[in-house]
A = this chain, B = another copy of it.
């Protein structure tokens, strides 16, 4: 309830501010015996890192993960795994002069109201830089899930109104926006550059799928798999909507259209579904089908265009937000989305081990 913990049996606690000394996470509950190296974590951090290409924030962070505990001779010991990433290129100078200004669209005002006081350097704890910790923890969750054949894949399906029209998994990591459609990806990139030129920013939509998820994950009533995935994804900065399977479209279907009928394969002795409007979840519990979710990401609030803003005293000032910001956070959010879904699934996977005799 303290807000910086997530999960139950595979439980993480994160800490750190954008311009503080470090960002970190403690993973408590990862089973013993899982092979784990700093490389496993670094691989994922590199995908969300600023400065990785010309479309993202130029802040130069190596984002090098250090494993402080919980791993011995290349394997998890069952005790807490602490992962630490030091902040190297924080530049707080730009923030000194706006320390009394509430930047539009940011959490400056609400943190101030909540705590009566705030760390104004780069947004402090409200900065998306805290997602470094989520990605690091998610890397461990992914490793665990992979052992059991579960994989999570996210990709951009829309930016600035430009939609993907095809799906080619192989191209996702080969274009700047992480779309699965190279042609649309090109247009999306251009939309981003164009927004940046106009000192503005754009948003978009990410889709995430999980495959290999066994039937039975998720709990009834409150901790439904879809509810917890929504919670996890809506907890990401800038996310304003989430949908599962057919999502908002389901509201316009009839029952006879929406119901996914089943197939039974005598060969594999497995139940399958002919369609997937449910997004792989029925009654909050995984059905064995592909889990599908989508999230809406708003355009970044930090824009160089002049905006009117208020000071702590209520005085109106003119503000151009400086600093090294992304004109669109969708591409860098892709690995973060995967991390969150992996964390949810790892937790439910462990819980399910205790649900029947």
Contact = CB atoms under 8 A, between A and B. Distances in A.
Contact of A261 (B81, B104, B305): B104
Interface in A173-203: 195, 200-203
Contacts of A316: 264
A130 B9 CA distance: 21
Contact of A248 (B81, B111, B241, B301): B241
Contacts of A104: 259-262
A63 interface: no
B303 A256 contact: yes
A158 B252 CA distance: 9
Interface string A246-268: 11111111111111111110100
A220 B125 contact: yes
A68 B125 CA distance: 12
A117 B2 contact: no
B78 A203 contact: no
B69 A31 contact: no
A310 B264 contact: yes
A130 B284 CA distance: 14
Nearest to A252: B161
A247 B215 contact: no
Contacts of A222: 3-6, 231-232, 235
Contacts of A121: 72
A117 B214 CA distance: 17
A245 interface: yes
A13 B6 CA distance: 12
A17 interface: yes
Contacts of A239: 226
Interface in A298-330: 298-303, 305, 307-310, 314-316
Contacts of A205: 248, 251
A166 interface: no
B299 A356 contact: no
A355 interface: yes
A217 to B, nearest CB: 8
A260 B2 contact: no
A355 B244 CA distance: 31
Given A68-B24, A241-B242, A255-B300, A2 B9 contact: yes
A216 interface: yes
Nearest to A327: B255
A282 B110 contact: yes
Given A241-B241, A354-B354, A251 B14 contact: no
B355 A235 contact: no
B235 A284 contact: yes
Interface stretch (A41-49, A50-58, A345-353): A345-353
A69 B300 CA distance: 25
3 shortest A-B CB distances, which residue pairs? Answer: A107-B283, A3-B219, A264-B314
12 contacts: A77-B118, A77-B124, A77-B125, A78-B115, A114-B285, A115-B356, A130-B221, A204-B251, A222-B231, A230-B234, A241-B247, A277-B298
